[in-house]
Amino acid sequence: MPDSIVFKHEGLSALKSHEVYPPKFGGGLAGYTAGWEFHPPPKCIGGSATACGGCPEDLTHYKPKTDIVKIIKMGIINTIPMNKALVIISQLLIKKGKTIAVAESCTGGLLANLLTNIPGSSKYFLLGIVAYSNQAKTSLLKIPGALIRRYGAVSYQVCRLMAKNIREIASSDYGIGITGIAGPLGGTRAKPVGTVYICAAAQNKSITKKICFSGSRLVVKRKAVLKALSMLKELL
């Protein structure tokens, strides 16, 4: 299954799932969580019209100037559809009686959103913090300012501490930290756009990885969350 598909629809005035998805998908992609982007975006909301997750009907009130809709599907973790993977993770957490908390920066709460989309998530999800600014990382996640100044907010050291501290703050069994540069601006030669650090931490074990994802801002965010879920699954 490709990561993205572009459909052209003649005379598109409103985005409907049965209009956009071809018949072979049965009117949708069961088991997938998708993002929808209009190209070009309408002017009515400052040059951006993006919805992440949910149903295409979420976008029916937008009227793009063209009839081209790009539908991005980042729904695979090791060939397992993302929603199925989320169900597996939630079932493992519930079965083992374990809990999780997440600290996000560049993903803007997307991971917390997905983890709480599963019925019964209150049994395992304790806390989600979107610490977007350096000040928020310091005040909410207790990341020392000196550490951020030395290594940068997008770094192995800060990411690892984000996961460790959110786990301690929430008194959860697992903690996940995500910090990166989703783009399209903000990249440097050392840390280009798409650079994301992800850490999944338990009491006696943690996994921290640096990945440079390709794609638009939305795609980078979704890829980062998918990787975080995969890393959490490794710990479980």
Q: Are residues 123 and 18 in the same domain?
A: no
Residues 143 and 221 in one domain: yes
Do 231 and 196 fall into the same domain?
yes
Instruction: Give the per-residue pLDDT at 31.
Output: 36
Give me the domain span that covers residue 42: 4-73
Query: What's residue 43's pLDDT?
Result: 36
Residues 181 and 98 in one domain: yes
164 in the same domain as 231:
yes
What is the predicted pLDDT for the residue at 127?
98
- Residue 82's pLDDT is 62
- pLDDT block averages, 10 residues each, the chain of length 236: 38 36 36 37 33 34 37 34 76 95 96 91 97 97 97 97 98 98 89 96 96 90 90 92
Note the pLDDT of residue 137.
98
State the residue for tokens 């993006």: 50
Last residue of a domain, one of 44, 73, 102: 73
Domain total of the chain: 2
Across 27-52, b (16+ Cβ under 10 Å) vs e yields eebeebbbbbbbeebeeeeeeebbbb
| pLDDT for 35 | 39
Shared domain check, 86 and 34:
no
Do residues 85 and 68 both lie within one domain? no
Same domain, yes or no: 191 and 170: yes
- Which of 14, 48, 73 represents a domain boundary (last residue)? 73
Task: Indicate if 131 and 161 belong to the same structural domain.
Answer: yes
Do residue 36 and residue 114 come from a single domain?
A: no
Q: What is the CATH number of the domain that holds 138?
A: 3.90.950.20
The beta strand positions in the chain, using DSSP E, are 4-8, 35-38, 50-52, 68-72, 76-77, 80-81, 100-104, 125-130, 174-180, 195-201, 206-212
Structure tokens at 214: 């390709």
